[in-house]
Amino acid sequence: MRMACANLAFFLSPQGRNSWPYQPEQPVSLPEDFFGVCVASSEDPACDDYILARLRELGVKCVRVDYGYDSPGGFADRLVGRLLSEGYRVALHLVAPRRDMEALDTPDGAARWREFVRDAFARFGGGVELFEIGSTVNRRRWSGFTVPRFLRAWEIAWAEARERGLVLAGPNVTDFEPFYNVAILQALRQRGCRPEIHTNNLFVERATEPEAFDPKILGPGWAARLKFNTVRKAALLGAIGRWAGVPRTYSMHVSWSLRRIRRLLVDVEEQQADYVARYGCLAAASGGLQRVYWGPLIGQREGLIDDGTTFFPEVFHVTFYGRANGKVGDYRIRPAFRAFQTVVRFLAGTTFTRRISARGSLEILEFQSAAHTLHAVWCRNGDCAVAADCYAAEALGAAEAFDRTGALLAAAPVLFTQRPTYLRWKAAAAIRLAPAPGSMADLRLAARGEAEYVPIRQPDWRGLALARLAGDKIDPAALLPGRLAPMDSAAARVLRNKRNRVWSVAAPWDARRQIVVKHFRPATGLRGWRQRFKAGKARRSWNGAQELLRRGIPTPEPVAWLEHPARPHAHESYYLCAAFAGGTSARQAFYAVNGGAAEFLGEPVAGLFRQIAELLARMHGRGVFYRDLSAGNLLLRRGADGNLEFALIDTGRARIGVKGLGIRPRLADLMRLCHPLAWRGREQFLRAYFLAANIRFAGWMRLAFHYYDWKHRLKKWLRPWR
């Protein structure tokens, strides 16, 4: 009841009413110490040396150290001493073990907490910048805190700190649960013991991307209405702090778990680095935060530096990051480290001046310093924007361009992708933008270092085409339909000549390689009318292939998609991809199994089924409903290393989600794939699939396969009557 009353008081207050919809005020001046990082050491003194060296690389001067009941006299003491002697501004996070926090209601538990904070204040009170009280207070299972226990712990610490004139920060709510922030700050205000700094761990990874609206506040249906993304969450938290009389709000620990990213995507460390850069820019632009700490510096799942172990602590790092695991010699800097280093380098001490209005998922944030104007530019995951559609040519030509790692580029990129690009001009430069900058509509692109694409802008054609692939430079103009060998030429090998025509030709950049050309005729009649609002077939094939690549599902390398600029549905279109040389199809493998073969391509049937099942289970688990998973669309071959290699083709019908598939779409894919396979082999394959997917196979699921078999019998019977 008290929590509800406190929140009602906030949301009815002028600050609460005026803060809706929690837009940041501009400009936002960012202090030099806006960014910090969470650090922990180990028994090895060399770990301290390593941490100090990495902090100098990052360019941060603010660090947070977790300090527990076992820390006095140990390596945490040693690390804090080193940091203070080197001039770092230390936030000391005082954390009691869960069992001791649960005992805080008893006189002995309260006395032990008082003794702990008194000792920490005596040891470090003259040196550290602030002491943080509270640790994920809204996660009782992690920390042992309840709101009454936190208030009791705070009152004890506040009484001890007041005598010494120390700075206290709290309450360390984790994630975005502002009702806790309001209630706790209101209670502390009423008790006359407000913190000097309002703290929160502003995680946003549950929204998948830092720009996404959080679907877990009131459910997915409300996400687009509430519009709570990183910026608005931070702005609201800042408004709550100001309402309670606490003008400074810090985010004390935030990270992206590689394990969470891996649920859907591959290249997880690259994805993590993208999120680090994008989160840092958005947090700086929010106006609600005065400091952001990234953490942990060294860790197995979330660290900017990989600790080289598979160990994950029982107590989450956000609750207590007390130790750097592993050996210093095994530590490895991740791409996220360089991304964070670049954000610190470019944004600390600047002023955020504006967010430039853009269509789609394009983000352009402008920051000013005394010498430069900086734009941080990116798109959401899988999207892209043509740079020439966003900026005037003279603006791009005058800009210094830097990639996510801070490396200077020879020129501004042709495409902006999910990996941030920084464009910098002299402070007095006039920067002219395009009339309506934005991302390309209904187009997907896997941001991969080995492939570089450029837009095609011709009177008869628009699209994207390869300009570089794994070191090979490619002339995109050579991929246009008039330049490639047509299907009826001697240089072409016809693969299909029905409604759509498919043939293979030598790759223009390397005659030893083959590319496949898929020509789509314009749809007519009822089919054309139904597809008039959809993306063209070539673009859908491109999008499906790019999404498969983003999710680590093998498909031939996309080379280009080309369609008419004005009326794609009324004209022919093309999709080009690399050929899967030397491959055969799963249909041929299934026919061989039906005929009694014990192996295919030298692989025993059980091993073949297991590998296909694992591939499809991974695809379905990463949100791909293929919808055209015939056995002929799954290719396989024996690779140079002796292992089987797979590729999925005809990707135009795939539907891509943000979570694993339910049982019905899985069965819809499987019944198509298994149609050529006799029931004996089918049962063996399905056992392998459901084992790989960790799903219990129920007898009723066989009905889907019987239905599909009868459907094909009926179609075959009706064919002569059409």
| Cβ–Cβ under 8 Å, residues 682 and 690 | no
Q: Tell me: do 574 and 593 sit in the same domain.
A: no
**How high is the pLDDT of residue 2?**
64
C-alpha distance from residue 42 to each of 79, 315, 321, 329, 555 (Å): 9, 17, 11, 13, 45
**Total-model pTM:** 0.94
C-alpha distance from residue 389 to each of 46, 243, 385, 546 (Å): 51, 42, 7, 22
Pairing label, strands 197-201, 248-254: parallel
3-class secondary-structure state, position 476: helix
Domain end marker among 324, 348, 372: 348
Domain end marker among 578, 602, 635: 578
Q: Is residue 679 part of a domain?
A: yes
CATH number of the domain bearing residue 622: 1.10.510
Pairing label, strands 599-600, 603-604: antiparallel
> What are 120's two structure tokens?
């920490």
CATH number of the domain bearing residue 398: 2.60.40
Q: Is residue 18 part of a domain?
A: no
Q: Is residue 437 part of a domain?
A: no
Matching residue, tokens 């770990």: 47
Amino acid letter for position 287: G
**What is d(CA 443, CA 481) in angstroms, rounded to the nearest whole number?**
21
Amino acid letter for position 329: G
Residue 480's CB is within 10 A of a number of other CB atoms, namely: 18
Q: Tell me: do 308 and 189 sit in the same domain.
A: yes
Q: Tell me: do 340 and 384 sit in the same domain.
A: no
> What are 148's two structure tokens?
């009454």
Instruction: Please provide residue 456's backbone torsions phi and psi, each rounded to the nearest 5 degrees.
Output: -105, 120
> What are 594's two structure tokens?
């039906």
Pairing label, strands 248-254, 291-294: parallel
Exposure of 471 by Cβ count < 10 A (0-12 exposed, 13-18 middle, 19+ buried)?
exposed
Exposure of 511 by Cβ count < 10 A (0-12 exposed, 13-18 middle, 19+ buried)?
exposed
C-alpha distance from residue 641 to each of 109, 579, 637 (Å): 62, 19, 11
CATH number of the domain bearing residue 50: 3.20.20.80
Domain count, the chain: 4
Q: Is residue 27 part of a domain?
A: no
**How high is the pLDDT of residue 566?**
84
C-alpha distance from residue 444 to each of 41, 382, 468, 535, 537 (Å): 42, 5, 18, 12, 14
**Angle ∠(197,203,209) on CA atoms, nearest 5:** 140
* DSSP string over 243-255: HTT--EEEEEEE-
**What is d(CA 646, CA 633) in angstroms, rounded to the nearest whole number?**
10
Q: Tell me: do 307 and 405 sit in the same domain.
A: no
CA atoms within 13 A on the CB side of 79: 30
**Dihedral Cα 111, 113, 119, 123, nearest 10 deg:** -170
Q: Is residue 434 part of a domain?
A: no
| Cβ–Cβ under 8 Å, residues 548 and 651 | yes
Closest CA to 568 of 655, 438, 461, 444: 461
| Cβ–Cβ under 8 Å, residues 503 and 516 | yes
Q: Tell me: do 690 and 569 sit in the same domain.
A: no
Instruction: Please provide residue 445's backbone torsions phi and psi, each rounded to the nearest 5 degrees.
Output: -150, 125
Q: What is the DSSP letter of 689?
A: H
* Buried/exposed code over 130-167 (b: 16+ C-beta within 10 A; e: otherwise): bbbbbbbbbbeebbbbbbebbbbbbebbbebbeeeebe
Closest CA to 519 of 543, 495, 545: 495
Instruction: Please provide residue 659's backbone torsions phi and psi, each rounded to the nearest 5 degrees.
Output: -155, 165
Low-confidence ranges of the chain (pLDDT < 50): 21
> What are 325's two structure tokens?
């695991």
Q: Tell me: do 335 and 411 sit in the same domain.
A: no
> What are 378's two structure tokens?
């990116």
> What are 666's two structure tokens?
């899985």
Q: Tell me: do 340 and 389 sit in the same domain.
A: no
Q: Tell me: do 502 and 592 sit in the same domain.
A: no
**What is d(CA 527, CA 513) in angstroms, rounded to the nearest whole number?**
36
**Considering just the CA atoms, what is the radius of gyration of the chain in Å?**
29
**What is d(CA 14, CA 9) in angstroms, rounded to the nearest whole number?**
10
Matching residue, tokens 């956000």: 318
C-alpha distance from residue 493 to each of 496, 514, 602, 646 (Å): 9, 10, 28, 22
> What are 454's two structure tokens?
């450029």
Domain end marker among 531, 559, 578: 578
CA atoms within 13 A on the CB side of 493: 9
H helix runs in 455-582, sequence order: 525-530, 537-550
Instruction: Please list the residues that pair with 64 across neighbouring strands.
Output: 38, 91
> What are 651's two structure tokens?
């990707």
Residue 470's region, left for phi above 0, alpha for psi from -120 to 50, else beta, is left
Q: Is residue 438 part of a domain?
A: no
Quote the distance between the C-alpha of residue 429 and its chain's center.
34
Matching residue, tokens 């180990």: 42
Query: What is the 3 state secondary structure string of 298-335?
Result: EECCCCCEECCCCCCCCCCCCCCCCCCCCCHHHCEECH
Q: Tell me: do 390 and 294 sit in the same domain.
A: no
Q: Tell me: do 322 and 469 sit in the same domain.
A: no
**What is d(CA 373, CA 375) in angstroms, rounded to the nearest whole number?**
7
**What is d(CA 649, CA 646) in angstroms, rounded to the nearest whole number?**
10
Q: Tell me: do 394 and 467 sit in the same domain.
A: no
Q: Is residue 1 part of a domain?
A: no
**What is d(CA 180, CA 150) in angstroms, rounded to the nearest whole number?**
11
Domain that holds residue 387: 352-426
Across 9-55, where does the E strand assignment appear?
28-29, 35-39
Q: Is residue 12 part of a domain?
A: no
Q: Tell me: do 626 and 553 sit in the same domain.
A: no
Residue 668's CB is within 10 A of a number of other CB atoms, namely: 16
| Cβ–Cβ under 8 Å, residues 257 and 341 | no
3-class secondary-structure state, position 698: coil
Report, in this order, helix, strand and coil percent for the chain, each rounded to 5. Answer: 40, 25, 40
